[in-house]
Structure 1
Amino acid sequence: MTASDTDTSDNDSAGPSAGEGPPSRLHTFFRDPRWALAMVRATVLEAAHPQIGAALIENSTFVAHPWRRLRNTFQSTQRMVGSDAQAREREAARLNRMHARLRGTDTKNRPYDATDPAARAWVVATLFESSVTMFRLSGQPLEQDFVEELYAEFKAMLAAMGDDPGHLPETLPEFWQYFDRMVATELENTEAMRVILYRLFEHLPAPPLLSGLPTLWAAARATAAPVVGAIAVASLPEPFRRRAGLPEIPGAQTLMQGAYLSIGLVRFLPESWIDPENIINLLSLTPGSDNPQARTVAALQSRIERAAALIRLLLPLPEPREPAARATTVSPAAAAYRRETEDFFRQVLDQTGNGTLDWPDLAAMARELSSRLDLDEPEETRLYQAFADWWQELQAALDTDGDGSVSAEEYAAGAPAMAGPALIRVAEVLFDVTDKDGNGHIDPDEYRTLFRTAFHRDTDTADGNGVVYTRGAFVKEFMTFMAGRQRTTPFDPLLAEA
């Protein structure tokens, strides 16, 4: 969910009617740059809910792949607030299928279920309340009528997901009582909340297009992360900050209000400069993409890297000291293999970033691929089932200590066993769902849908319409990639990059 301007002259309707366009207030809020801060605040409040926090920490890729998660969330929100009623219905159905797969128990052995109506109502509540708070902290409080209309539209969005809007209070005064009660009694200092506040921004990986500038990114992150964290904490309701034991940083309230005021001024810049779709697409581009923006930034990266190399020549750094010799020596080939397997494990297999390979990691792969291809039933279920079968195969082959997960050490010792029959089935199902027209090969348009770029390889077959990707070539390349034997493939930006 995102927001935009408060100009109420665009549309005075109180909410969407059946079959009409998007919720008027939500649509006008969608592109306000202040919503970036409000979204962080809402996400923290969501993560503090025990059920939502458990679902996030066990299933989400927001730690290991935050930029990909941002793009997917933005695209989902676009569909939910867009004018296409059919697109809204399809997206609501997709989200419901995704939520139905997210259930389990937390570290306190309490069950969680992403389809729980009360938990989903809390998600909508945090988005609405953070929208209103966004304007209040910016020195631009909303009129009561506007707030009531906005509340009606958020309730309508809950109804669009198939939930009874009655899970939120009927009137606005009752909502504020409900919100205060939730903050005072239901929210907890969850692990997911702590990760968002204290780990996510401090360890935020560079977006794909800036991955070649690690020093520059590390310096920018070290400067910005503490500021963003302090602003997020300061914006939370004071009773919850006190109950959760969150630190009171001197000057944080002033910093937070100044941030909201300053970012609010950004909305007066030319729209093309601050359009969130343009910004997110730019952050998500990979250096090898055929997109003109990617080529421009890649050229800039190359110049910066050459300048950095020149500086290192003129001002050489001290030679690093050799580490103390170990009792046992490892051959260069073995050390290189170890590094490669650890990188592949961390970047590709461990999608949730918890340090082990579990079913949620493979489910996250299926979820990403289903989203890329915009799959409906039954294709989506076929893909999930193929990944579930592969997980059973991996457990049997690699989980040597029987703890229900695969460690990096277990993977390194048994990596060749990954390329079994179940993985072949994953590749075959992925080919089938990508081959939309069922003609037995992946053409350039279908290739771009999956990889978000044009062909960057010589395929082994061509027909009268140009280059195509045959089933055999696709399955072979997917297998070599997922077994960790070939990293220079299109699958890197699909599953490995942040």
Structure 2
Amino acid sequence: MTHTDSGSPGGSGAGATSPGGSSSRPGAEDGTTPLFGPGSRFHAFFNDPRWALAIVRATVLEAAHPQIGAALIDNSTFVVHPWRRLRNTLVSLQRMFGSDEHVRQREAARLNRLHARLHGTDADNRPYDAMDPDVRAWVVATLFESAVTMCRLSGQPLEQEAMEQLYAEFQAFLAAFGDAAGHLPPSPHEFWGYYDRVVEEELENTEAMRIILYKLFDHLPAPPLLNGLPTLWAAGRTVTGPLIGAITVASLPEPFRRRAGLPELPGAQTLMQGAYFTAGLARFLPDGWINTESITDLLALSPDSDDPRARTISALRDKMNRAGALLRLITPLPPEPEPTTAHGGLRRSAEEFFGEVLDQTGNGYLDWPDLAAMARELSSRLDLDEPEETRLYDAFADWWRELQAALDTDGDGRVSAHEYAAAVPSLAGPALIKVAEVLFDATDKDGNQTIDADEYRALFRTAFHRDTAGTEPAYTRSAFVKDFLSFMSGRRHSTPYDPLLAQA
């Protein structure tokens, strides 16, 4: 969802850029305010609680664009894996708005490769293309406008100079992708006419927008930290889900709310303004009390991880379990089924494996976007450049063709959960073996044909626990391939692979 001769694609303004599209003054050596990194306007928003509300609002406005909405429905994992998507988005924004120009260029190239793979047609047979420069400009426009609205609704409106600086930063952000000038207006003054026109003429009540507003938060899966606490999570989600939806709808432009037929609950405007104002009070907290990166990492941290913070998380989870037990006494729920055990290991049913691992987009079918999402997550974990990234995508594409030939019995171009379960397939064919081998090569950065502890952590984000008598711990190619095939075809739960491919 990330979303020319001067700081604006329009050709003039404060943020001058180099011919390659990067800022000519990211570090502000000349004494001016930097466009990227510490000191920039946007950098201060990273740890601002108001930004949580603003980013949801911006995402809804993005999803209301028919091209973006279609791309999200067809390709995104935001419904099934929202926490993974959130973390990847925050990491990408930090790379793009950080002070390291080399990191920014690598991330822009990675995002361009990702977007180049996202194209197709929507349900009305209209084409969409994530590389469309007008579409990319709209993504940046929603971020800028939502940041301005966030400040206004919280009682801290931006002064004109600050708004112009923030706009220059977002222009430089868009320019870093290499798009030609002119897709965003050259100044904030001209921006508002452009924004109103897109809102009134182009946005629609798309399926993706409705999912975000009315399904995502109401059915949001628990983050890894709260796995195993369904009662506590469901109780909190029941209250906060509708509130987030109501706050977001109330903050959207009124002409679009009216045209899209979005209901506005009584008192929603007051609730929305109160939420933004309360979040804005965080400016009185001492520096460092709120750190988005740390919070996101904690949400993604499993209590059984080797991370030093896991001990604290485990203690917190014990307390949550006791609180959950109390809630169950007050409002008893049917007991959850225990996983079946076979051959000493926990196994999923075919239906569970299909829903938790294979159907990455959550549309009830297995097709290419699901396997592409796996390749995308693995490439991001390993921070792959070309040509390794393309090799991994190609291996997954070959596996998809193998699966399609074996399992698509009705010839509709995709595999349903019923087709998968009925076939009781063994997925460990030549193409899946190739996926495992390519993934091993990508993980084995030093090419010594073993995966060491650091390489293991890069992929799985946990410690290397394999024990080898009398030797330095090592993960050989054959052992890696065997474990990968066991997970992908045997449907066996796996401590490292579950967080990688099944975790929300």
TM-score, normalized by the shorter chain, greater than 0.5: yes
In structure 2, what is the equivalent of residue 88 of structure 1?
104
Does the aligned pair in 2 maintain the 1:202–1:222 contact within 8 Å? yes
Give a deviation string over 1:64-113, Cα, whole Å, max 9, x none.
00000000000000100001000000000000000000000000000000
In 2, Cα distance between the equivalents of 1:193 and 1:456?
43
Shift in Å, 1:142: 1.1
* Deviation larger for 235-244 or 143-152: 143-152
| Of 452, 455, 480, the match for 2:461 | 452
Shift in Å, 1:164: 2.0
| Of 404, 416, 428, the match for 2:437 | 428
Change (3 A) 1:309 1:235: closer
Change (3 A) 1:311 1:379: closer
Does the aligned pair in 2 maintain the 1:267–1:274 contact within 8 Å? no
Does the aligned pair in 1 maintain the 2:70–2:208 contact within 8 Å? yes
Does the aligned pair in 2 maintain the 1:128–1:151 contact within 8 Å? yes
Q: Please tell me the residue identity of whatever aligns with 1:282.
A: L
Shift in Å, 1:271: 3.4
In structure 2, what is the equivalent of residue 220 of structure 1?
236
* Deviation larger for 118-127 or 282-291: 282-291
In 1, Cα distance between the equivalents of 2:164 and 2:333?
64
Q: How does 1:261-340 map to 2 (within 5 A)?
A: 261-306=277-322, 308-309=324-325, 340=349
Q: How does 1:123-134 map to 2 (within 5 A)?
A: 123-134=139-150
Does the aligned pair in 2 maintain the 1:358–1:404 contact within 8 Å? yes
Aligned residues: 472
Q: How does 1:462-477 map to 2 (within 5 A)?
A: 463=471, 466-477=472-483
Shift in Å, 1:343: 1.4
Q: Please tell me the residue identity of whatever aligns with 1:20.
A: P
In 2, Cα distance between the equivalents of 1:260 and 1:164?
36
In structure 2, what is the equivalent of residue 195 of structure 1?
211
Q: How does 1:45-84 map to 2 (within 5 A)?
A: 45-84=61-100
Change (3 A) 1:306 1:251: closer
Whether 1:357 aligns to 2:373 is: no
In 2, Cα distance between the equivalents of 1:71 and 1:248?
30
Shift in Å, 1:339: 6.3
Q: Please tell me the residue identity of whatever aligns with 1:469.
A: Y
Give a deviation string over 1:388-421, Cα, whole Å, max 9, x none.
0000000011111111111111111224331100
In structure 2, what is the equivalent of residue 491 of structure 1?
497
Change (3 A) 1:203 1:371: same
Change (3 A) 1:127 1:317: closer
Change (3 A) 1:139 1:306: closer
Q: Please tell me the residue identity of whatever aligns with 1:489.
A: T
Change (3 A) 1:461 1:346: farther
Does the aligned pair in 2 maintain the 1:441–1:470 contact within 8 Å? yes
Shift in Å, 1:302: 2.8
Shift in Å, 1:461: 7.5
Q: How does 1:27-176 map to 2 (within 5 A)?
A: 27-176=43-192
In structure 1, what is the equivalent of residue 31 of structure 2?
none
Q: Please tell me the residue identity of whatever aligns with 1:211.
A: N
In 1, Cα distance between the equivalents of 2:357 and 2:306?
23
Does the aligned pair in 2 maintain the 1:33–1:267 contact within 8 Å? no
In 2, Cα distance between the equivalents of 1:236 and 1:379?
42
Secondary structure in structure 2 of the residue aligned to 1:167? coil
Shift in Å, 1:146: 1.5
Give a deviation string over 1:191-228, Cα, whole Å, max 9, x none.
00000000000000000111111100000000100100
In structure 1, what is the equivalent of residue 9 of structure 2?
none
In 2, Cα distance between the equivalents of 1:316 and 1:152?
53
Whether 1:238 aligns to 2:247 is: no
Does the aligned pair in 2 maintain the 1:118–1:167 contact within 8 Å? yes
Whether 1:482 aligns to 2:488 is: yes
Shift in Å, 1:303: 4.1
Percent identical among aligned pairs is: 72
In 2, Cα distance between the equivalents of 1:26 and 1:317?
46
Shift in Å, 1:274: 1.1
Change (3 A) 1:338 1:430: closer
Secondary structure in structure 2 of the residue aligned to 1:401? coil
Secondary structure in structure 2 of the residue aligned to 1:112? strand
Q: Please tell me the residue identity of whatever aligns with 1:187.
A: L
Structure 1 stretches lacking a partner, 5+ long: 3-12, 321-331
* Deviation larger for 93-102 or 151-160: 151-160
Shift in Å, 1:308: 4.9
In structure 1, what is the equivalent of residue 356 of structure 2?
347
Secondary structure in structure 2 of the residue aligned to 1:104? strand
Does the aligned pair in 2 maintain the 1:155–1:165 contact within 8 Å? no
Whether 1:398 aligns to 2:414 is: no
In 2, Cα distance between the equivalents of 1:62 and 1:397?
28
Higher-helix-fraction structure: 1
